[in-house]
Structure 1
Amino acid sequence: MTKKDEMEEFITHLDPSTACESGYLPTQQEYMEALGPYGTAITAVGSLITVVLVVFYIEHIVFTFRNTHSVFRRHINWIACFYPMGALMSLLSLIVPRAYSICLAVKIVFFSLGISHFTDLTVEMFGCEKAMLAKLSGSFFSVCPSLCRCPSPRVTKVRLRLVKWMLWQLPYTQTIYFFFEMYWTRAESDPIGLIYFGYAYLVLDFLNALSFLTAIYALTVLTRLVGDVLQPFNYKRKAATLLVFLVVLKVPGFFMTVLGNYGHFPCVPPYINSMMYAHTAVGLVHLCLIPLFGGLEYWQYHTLEFVSPISDKHHKHSHELIIHGQACVCIISEMNNVTKPPRRLSGTLPPIVLENKMALDPQYSSDEGQNNNDGVANLSAVVGR
């Protein structure tokens, strides 16, 4: 060993971070070599978690098909599908470190789509947007903490849609963020593939933070607005689970990624630099959180709360009329007194009734011929022919 090698070894012993190549993403073999037996354990446990979540998701699909009304089914299945997909992406990012960015992008975008579908599910719990506005007539948004004396705007169609768009934006903005994040990363890497982050890169991190903080705020406002009204669906519990999961999924990962990119995590020579250390920590945190919240989701939606459509007591046929694409089939079956053995429980129970002093139609009258049931009467005449 030359004096130069001895000096480098001595410096490495004093400061191990000098042995790590900043910006280097190890190969799969190098990464597993660096993790040693921990790599095998992570792969085995992660695979088991993923398989279990996939099995539970398949069972969940069967349950919702049999016991959930079709108007809710698609949204519930989308919310549930994130957990096996998230576990799979976390596992793959821990096996192939150079695939971390694309795996994280798929994971976060899938969860963002789940948030978007939960927003749609909230509207369907009322029956439709018109029914939601009628039910919330006279209500006010709680836009600030109770200690702040800020004005509370009245619920209107425009303001309600603004809150929904603050949630719907999440999958779009996260997709845009991850596209530019991966594009910028490749553009800033040197000829041999080392990645360097300039402070201008913090602009993307700011947009990322703005995106998910907006969604967190909007989900909080929506929960305060409709939580008591949708108590038959245990809405507060479901919304709180998604809200907490969104916070713990994005906030720690955001800070760990920023700190790792700028060298604030320790180095485990020769392959685990600060950035790779942060990637590993984020993957492990997600792999631990996903089965926990996946179990909560399974428990909350594996019920009979969504077995029937919604009805307003002032409208005899409202539960058929608001189910788009199924109205005529339901009404004709009732008029012809057709009785068929139900294949699923969702076809046997009466609709859930949300009490409301207002009719969905502003021109509603006690006279059956003056409200929306004119259409039903006309349809009855057609069928009678």
Structure 2
Amino acid sequence: MRDVMFGTTTKTPLNDTCPDFDPTAGELFETIGDHPGVISILVVCTIITIIECILFCEAAHYVASTIPYTDRRNCIIWILGIYPVFCLTSLLGLYIPRSAVLCNLTASVYFSVCLYQFFVLIIDYYGGHDSILLQMSNIEVSLRSPPIGCFFPCLPTFKMTEKNLLRIKIAVFQCALIRPFVLFVTEVLWLNGTYVPGSLASDEAFLYVNIITLTSTIIAIYAFIMFYRASREPLHGFKLTPKFIVVQLALICSNIQIIFLGILVLTDVIPCDDPFPTDSRHNRWQCLILTLESAIIFPFVLKFFRTRNGNIVSILGNGRVKEIKEGASLLRKSYSSSSISGNTYVTL
């Protein structure tokens, strides 16, 4: 018999009374009075989302009016939007339970684009493509970086050449391309009824979608960590470490956390009980947890990205601007007409 609030019941190995469908929005609000836990969750998450959206609008206006460099300004605004977008997509997933899968995937896609935007932002901190090659020409970039290379201490180091920089760019950018494609395929399979969230059976698309997602994400973050570790010293005036941490936390929260929630649901560690008593409850738990995490982390995002301190820095020295090769344009005026050697950092 169909439960109006929580969908059609089905039998599972761990729980023979757990409904297999989330309720529609109409069904949710018809019986929401019987579920005070759901009311509390919706109220708290709505308040958090409204506050974060207001703070994001203010921060975006501040950045647009105080950061003079267009590329840098755009990248920072993209990154500032990570956690507000997480809140918005999660809130939709809570109000419209059957959209939770799509909402979580959309949040993950947005983050994939922002990961590349953060990579572009670091290049902009250097002063552009030519400048990064000059400043990193004597830096050894180690392949022994987490989350992959740290298990292989025999891996060598390499110099940052134009070809190697291109390889790192591709490794990061592929995540921003593959994730939307995987989302499109997932939507098609979901509408066709062949995508069952949480099912790890070998004949189910869910398993392979997550393998592709994890592989793409790990490759991107591996390349990014290599680049970040090599950039800490040259860009010490830009406060790169805390910025990197808040972006890494977004990666864990949006792409990796939901997989562990799915495993906890499959093993019945998260029982089929209020406030989300359905087989696909891990998607709605992800929406709730992601909203609460965003409320905690977003103030730190504002602290390090909504500011001129650490985002507008000139690289000063003695002499004239060095050019990488014949015909290369001068480094951006914001970085002064000076030599890159003997850098000191001055916040404007």
TM-score by length of 2: 0.79
Indicate conservation of the 8 Å contact 1:216/1:247, yes or no: no
2:47 corresponds in structure 1 to: 48
1:213 corresponds in structure 2 to: 218
* Bigger share in strand: 2
The 2-side partners of 1:353 and 1:261 are apart by: 60
2:252 corresponds in structure 1 to: 247
The 2-side partners of 1:100 and 1:112 are apart by: 18
1:288 to 287, 292, 299: 292
2:24 to 23, 27, 35: 27
What is the identity, as a one-letter code, of the residue corresponding to 2:253? V
1:199 corresponds in structure 2 to: 202
The 2-side partners of 1:258 and 1:309 are apart by: 48
The CA deviation string for residues 256-308 of structure 1, in whole angstroms up to 9 with x for no partner, is 23554797753238982221x21121111111111222111100012223335
Higher mean C-alpha displacement, 251-260 vs 235-244: 251-260
The 1-side partners of 2:197 and 2:104 are apart by: 17
What are the residue-to-residue correspondences of 1:83-162 with 2, within 5 Å? Answer: 83-145=83-145, 148-162=153-167
The 1-side partners of 2:220 and 2:48 are apart by: 28
What are the residue-to-residue correspondences of 1:164-175 with 2, within 5 Å? Answer: 164-175=169-180
Structure 2 unpaired stretches of 5+: 1-9, 324-328, 344-348
The 1-side partners of 2:46 and 2:54 are apart by: 12
Identity of aligned residues (%): 19
Indicate conservation of the 8 Å contact 1:57/1:80, yes or no: yes
Deviation of the 1:74 alpha carbon: 0.8
Indicate conservation of the 8 Å contact 1:20/1:269, yes or no: no
What are the residue-to-residue correspondences of 1:228-243 with 2, within 5 Å? Answer: 228-243=233-248
The 2-side partners of 1:196 and 1:67 are apart by: 45
Indicate conservation of the 8 Å contact 2:321/2:339, yes or no: no
The 2-side partners of 1:21 and 1:255 are apart by: 21
The 1-side partners of 2:270 and 2:45 are apart by: 24
Indicate conservation of the 8 Å contact 1:308/1:351, yes or no: no
Indicate conservation of the 8 Å contact 1:92/1:103, yes or no: yes
1:17 aligns with 2:15: yes
Distance 1:350 1:268, change over 3 A: closer
Deviation of the 1:249 alpha carbon: 2.8
The CA deviation string for residues 20-66 of structure 1, in whole angstroms up to 9 with x for no partner, is 233x2322244454781121111111111111111111221222123
1:38 aligns with 2:37: yes
Distance 1:157 1:36, change over 3 A: same
Indicate conservation of the 8 Å contact 1:309/1:352, yes or no: no
TM-score by length of 1: 0.72
The 1-side partners of 2:283 and 2:338 are apart by: 48
Distance 1:232 1:94, change over 3 A: same
Indicate conservation of the 8 Å contact 1:76/1:301, yes or no: yes
Distance 1:16 1:317, change over 3 A: closer
Higher mean C-alpha displacement, 163-172 vs 303-312: 303-312
Distance 1:173 1:350, change over 3 A: closer
Higher mean C-alpha displacement, 79-88 vs 32-41: 32-41
Distance 1:313 1:244, change over 3 A: farther
The CA deviation string for residues 96-154 of structure 1, in whole angstroms up to 9 with x for no partner, is 11111221122111111111111111111111111101000121211115782321122
1:268 corresponds in structure 2 to: 273
What is the identity, as a one-letter code, of the residue corresponding to 1:103? C
Deviation of the 1:76 alpha carbon: 0.5
What is the identity, as a one-letter code, of the residue corresponding to 2:16? T
* Bigger share in helix: 1
Distance 1:159 1:189, change over 3 A: closer
Indicate conservation of the 8 Å contact 2:321/2:330, yes or no: no
Higher mean C-alpha displacement, 256-265 vs 293-302: 256-265
Deviation of the 1:350 alpha carbon: 7.7
Moved over 6 A (4+): 261-264
Deviation of the 1:311 alpha carbon: 6.3
Deviation of the 1:95 alpha carbon: 1.0
Distance 1:314 1:137, change over 3 A: farther
The CA deviation string for residues 59-104 of structure 1, in whole angstroms up to 9 with x for no partner, is 2122212321223111101111222221111111011111112211
The 2-side partners of 1:187 and 1:161 are apart by: 39
What is the identity, as a one-letter code, of the residue corresponding to 1:204? V
Determine helix, strand or coil for the equivalent of 1:153: strand
Give the structure with higher Rg (CA): 1
Distance 1:255 1:177, change over 3 A: farther
Determine helix, strand or coil for the equivalent of 1:141: strand
Determine helix, strand or coil for the equivalent of 1:274: coil
Deviation of the 1:315 alpha carbon: 3.2
1:315 aligns with 2:320: yes
Q: How many residues align?
A: 315
Distance 1:158 1:261, change over 3 A: farther
Indicate conservation of the 8 Å contact 2:112/2:175, yes or no: yes
